[in-house]
Chains A and B, each alone.
Chain A
C-alpha cells in the first residue's frame, strides 16, 4: 500500500547483491532523454477524499451529488431537489445529507427553517469543476532529464499565488524540492474547452485533485524505474528531495530516471495522492516561487516582453463611453518624430511609434471629433433611478408583521489593476500570435480568429503573467485591438491602454441598487428575507456561460439569463432567516462592465450584512450573537467565534470609534472580519485595526491565503470608503489613481491579524472570498462609530 512506499516499514533487508552499475551517475543518458509526461485518466480524479478523512468534518457529499446531477443536470432539477429535501425518505442519498443538515438547523430555535439555496447543494465552483472534469486528464506534468518538474498550467497568474500553490502540490506528491518545480503558463489550448478559464475562485478547486493525481502518478513511475534499475522491490524505495532512495542509502535523482520512467507502462507502486495526515508541503507557509524575480525586477509582464519588431502603440478613444469616430485629421500626428503609422480600428484611432512617448504625443496631436456614445444622455443619478425602477415588487406585504427595510446603492468601480491592459500581436498572412495576460485565452483565441478571418488553430494565444486583474483580464479588449492594428499596419505591435484609457473606457463593476426587507417576530426571529438586486448588466461574455452549459446546466430550461444563473449559483444567505428570496434584475446599458472580484457577492452580501447588524440592533441583540444564533453549520460559527475572540469584540471604544463585523461564505470557504474604525472625522474615516478568521477547507499555502485576505481587506476599505467611479453625461469622471481613490498605505491598518482555522475539508477558493465580509465589516464599523445607517457606497465619494 502507499504507506509502505513512502515510509517502508522495518522488514527484511533487500537482497544484498551488488548493484548492476554504480548508483551515481546512473542510469547514463544514452541519448537525449525524453521527458516523462504524466497525464491521468478521468477515473483517477473522481474525488474520493471528501468524507471520512481523519480529523475532518464530514461534508455534504457534494461531488456525489454532482454525479447525480450529471445524470439529470439542470438548475431546475437542483431547485426541485431543494424542495424535495423536506421529504428525505424518498430522496436519494446525497439529498439526504442536505435534508439532514436542514433538520439539524431545526434544533436552533426560534428560527423558521430556510430551504437550502442552490449554492448549498451546488455552487459555481462545483459547476466549473464539473465542466473541467472531462479534460482534467489533459493537464501535463513533465519531469525533464535536467530534473525539473514542469507543470504547464492552463490558468493565469495575476498575483493570486496560483503558480506557487500548484508548485506546492507537485512538490508534495512528487516528493520534489519546491525549487525544482516550474509552473509556466500554458498557451491557449482549445482542446481544454472550459478548463482554461481563470475565474470564479475555481482554480484550486478544479485543479487540486488532478494536479495531485498527476504528480502521484509521475512519482509512481519514477519509483518503478528506480526499482527496475536497482533490481529492488519498488515497495522498498522512498522518495525525497527530488530523488528515489534505496534502503541501503543509494540515491538517484528524478532527472536521471526521467527517460526510463517514460517507458514504465504500469507502475509497480500505487499512484495515489497522500492522505491528509501525511501532507508536509501543503499547509506549510511558503513564499511565492516568483518572489525573487519580482524583487529584482526580472518578472516580465506583457509590456516587458521583447517580441521582435513589436512597436509601441496607443489608441485615441472617444470622449464618451463607446462613442464613435466622427472625423479624423492625422496629418500633424503622422508628421511627428518617431511615428510609424496611424490606423483606424472600431474602438478608436491607433498610433504606432518608435517609443510609447512618441506614440502618446502623436495621439495628442490627432485632430478628432466623436459621435456621442449610447449612454451620453445618462449621468449617475439617471442610472441610479433606472436601477430603482427595475426591481420587481417584494413578495410578502408586511401586514401586521414588523419589518425592516433597507435600500443600498453601490457605485461603479473600476478594476484598476496596476499593470494596464497591454497586448502584443503579430498578425501575418494565415496566422497570428498574441501575447497577453488572459483569464479566458480560448475565448480570446476564438474571438481574435473570427475577427481576423482565420481558423481558430491559426491563432496562438501566449498567456503572460498579469499585474493584477480582479476580473479585468477575463476580457481581452487590448488583445483584440492589437490584432486589428497589427493586421492593418502589417507589423507586430505592442498595444498599451494608458491608465486614463482604462479608467475612462475600461470595465467596471456595474452600479447596483438593492432593496432588502426582513420581517421578524416578537422574539427577534427572522421570518423572511427578501433581497432585490438591480444592476447595470454585467458582461459575462467570456466563456462562463459555455462552461456552465458544458457542465450540464441548461439555464434556458429554467427561464434564466446567464447572469441570473450565475447569481443563483453564487448568492446565498448563510443564515436561517426564514424564507429567503433573492432576485436579480438587470438594466441593459451599453457600457463596459465585467465581473469584479467576488462579483454579485461584493454588493448583495454586503447589503445583507449591514441589514443583519441593523436587525440585531432593532431587536436589541448583539450583532455577533445575532449572527451566531442564525448561522447554519458549525464551521461558520467557529469562524465567527474566532474573530470575535481574537478581535476582542465588544471592547470599549472611544467616542467616534467602533468595531464592526462582517461574515461571508462562498467558494467552499467561510470568513469573518472584525475591523476597528476611527470616524472622529466623519469625512476621513480610517480603519485602525483588522482581525480576520477564515476556513477555506484546507489552505495549500497559508501565507498566500493570508495575502489574499489582506488584499480583500484593502478592497473592502477602498470600495466602502473612497474608491468608485462617477458617470457624467456618459463619460467616466475619474482618470487615474489621483481621483479613483484606491487605498494607500495610510488608509490601511498598521495591524492586521489573520487566523486560519484547522483544515475542515477539501480546499476552497480564496481569491474572492474575503471581499464581501471585509466590505461589510468596514460599513458596519462606520455605522456603529457614527450612529448612522450608511446606504450609498463609497461613503466619501
Chain B
C-alpha cells in the first residue's frame, strides 16, 4: 500500500493508505484525528474544513496523495498548547456553539477568512458556505467580527 508523508498539526506523519483515499478518512480512521467531522462527504456542508498550507480546504474531497509533502492543520492544531487561537477565544466569548458538530469547520473557515481579509465585511462573511443546522450563524458573524476587532493594529 502506498505511503504518504505530510505535516499534520506541526509534526510529520507517514501513513499507508490508497492514493485515492480522501484525507478525511485518513485523519479519522487511520490517525485518530477526529476534529474534522463527516457531514456530507461531498464538500458541501464543510464540517471537515481544515487548512492545507494555511488555506481552507475540505479533507473529504481531497485525496491523501494530494496532501503529500504539504502541511495539514486541523482544529486540533489551532491552539498553541493551552493557549487558544484568538478565533477560538472569540467563539467562547460569543458562546457560539450549540451542538458543536460543525464548529471545528466553522472556526477553521473563519481563521482562513481572517487571514485573507483581516476586517471582513458582512458581505465577506455572507460568502461562508459552512452549514450550521443549529442556526448559530448570527453568533458566528459576531465572533468573526470580534476576532477581527481584537487583532493588534500595526
Contact A355 B95 (CB under 8 A): no
B136 within 8 A of A: yes
In the complex, A296→B30 CA distance in Å? Answer: 20
Cross-interface CB contact of B97 among A295, A416, A738, cutoff 8 Å = A295
How far is the CB of A473 from the nearest CB of chain B, in Å? 11
Contact B97 A746 (CB under 8 A): no
Contact B44 A468 (CB under 8 A): no
In the complex, A466→B134 CA distance in Å? Answer: 12
Contact A160 B98 (CB under 8 A): yes
Contact B126 A357 (CB under 8 A): no
As a 0/1 sequence over residues 607 to 638 of chain A, the CB contacts with chain B under 8 angstroms (1 = contact) are 00000000000000000000000000000000
Question: Count the A residues whose beta carbon is within 8 Å of the partner chain — how many?
Answer: 64
Closest A residue to B99 using CB positions = A159
In the complex, A172→B84 CA distance in Å? Answer: 29
Closest B residue to A469 using CB positions = B99
Closest B residue to A711 using CB positions = B135
Question: Can you list the 7 inter-chain pairs with the closest CB atoms, starting with the nearest?
Answer: A714-B135, A297-B35, A159-B99, A467-B101, A294-B100, A159-B98, A297-B75
- Secondary structure of the A contact surface, majority rule: loop
Query: What A residues does B92 contact at CB under 8 A?
Result: 287, 291-292, 295
Task: Given A295-B92, A744-B131, check contact A710 B136 (CB 8 Å).
Answer: yes
Contact A710 B139 (CB under 8 A): yes
A365 within 8 A of B: no
Contact A714 B137 (CB under 8 A): yes
- A8-26 CB contacts (< 8 Å) to partner B: none
Task: Given A710-B136, A714-B137, A745-B128, check contact A295 B38 (CB 8 Å).
Answer: no
Task: Given A296-B79, A354-B29, A418-B37, check contact A713 B135 (CB 8 Å).
Answer: yes
Contact B134 A357 (CB under 8 A): no
Interface contact tally, CB-CB below 8 A = 185
Query: What A residues does B22 contact at CB under 8 A?
Result: 357
As a 0/1 sequence over residues 226 to 245 of chain A, the CB contacts with chain B under 8 angstroms (1 = contact) are 00000000000000000000
Contact A710 B135 (CB under 8 A): yes
B88 within 8 A of A: yes
Interface residues of A (CB under 8 A from B): 158-161, 287-288, 290-301, 303-304, 306, 312, 337, 354-358, 360, 416-420, 465-470, 496, 498-499, 703, 707, 710-715, 736-738, 742-746, 748-752
Contact A337 B18 (CB under 8 A): yes
- B80-139 CB contacts (< 8 Å) to partner A: 84, 88, 91-92, 95-104, 107, 122, 125-139
Contact A296 B135 (CB under 8 A): no
In the complex, A218→B118 CA distance in Å? Answer: 51
How far is the CB of B29 from the nearest CB of chain A, in Å? 4
Closest B residue to A418 using CB positions = B101
Query: What A residues does B34 contact at CB under 8 A?
Result: 297, 300, 303-304
Contact A356 B28 (CB under 8 A): yes
Contact A736 B98 (CB under 8 A): no
Task: Given A287-B95, A291-B92, A356-B25, check contact A737 B135 (CB 8 Å).
Answer: no
How far is the CB of A758 from the nearest CB of chain B, in Å? 22
Closest B residue to A157 using CB positions = B99
How far is the CB of B77 from the nearest CB of chain A, in Å? 9
Closest B residue to A739 using CB positions = B44
Closest B residue to A701 using CB positions = B95
Contact A288 B129 (CB under 8 A): no
B4 within 8 A of A: no
Closest A residue to B143 using CB positions = A295
How far is the CB of B83 from the nearest CB of chain A, in Å? 11
Closest B residue to A494 using CB positions = B29
How far is the CB of A555 from the nearest CB of chain B, in Å? 33
Contact A158 B84 (CB under 8 A): no
B141 within 8 A of A: yes
How far is the CB of A371 from the nearest CB of chain B, in Å? 27
B42 within 8 A of A: yes
Query: What A residues does B126 contact at CB under 8 A?
Result: 745-746
Question: 22 A-B Cβ contacts within 8 A?
Answer: A159-B100, A297-B35, A301-B37, A357-B22, A419-B37, A466-B99, A468-B134, A496-B38, A498-B41, A499-B42, A707-B98, A707-B139, A710-B137, A710-B139, A711-B134, A712-B135, A736-B44, A742-B131, A744-B128, A750-B122, A750-B138, A751-B138
Query: What A residues does B13 contact at CB under 8 A?
Result: none
Query: What B residues does A737 contact at CB under 8 A?
Result: 39-40, 44-45, 131
Most buried by B among A294, A337, A498: A294
Contact A301 B101 (CB under 8 A): yes
Contact B134 A744 (CB under 8 A): no
Contact B99 A418 (CB under 8 A): yes
Contact A306 B136 (CB under 8 A): no
Contact A295 B88 (CB under 8 A): yes
Most buried by A among B1, B41, B126, B135: B135
Contact B141 A750 (CB under 8 A): yes
Contact B21 A745 (CB under 8 A): no
Cross-interface CB contact of B45 among A290, A496, A736, A751, cutoff 8 Å = A736
In the complex, A295→B38 CA distance in Å? Answer: 16
Cross-interface CB contact of A296 among B84, B133, B138, cutoff 8 Å = B84
Most buried by B among A290, A297, A419: A297
- B1-39 CB contacts (< 8 Å) to partner A: 1, 17-18, 21-22, 25-26, 28-30, 32, 34-39
In the complex, A337→B20 CA distance in Å? Answer: 12
Contact B91 A295 (CB under 8 A): yes
In the complex, A296→B44 CA distance in Å? Answer: 22
In the complex, A468→B101 CA distance in Å? Answer: 8
Query: What A residues does B148 contact at CB under 8 A?
Result: none
Contact B131 A418 (CB under 8 A): yes
Query: What B residues does A713 contact at CB under 8 A?
Result: 135
B58 within 8 A of A: no
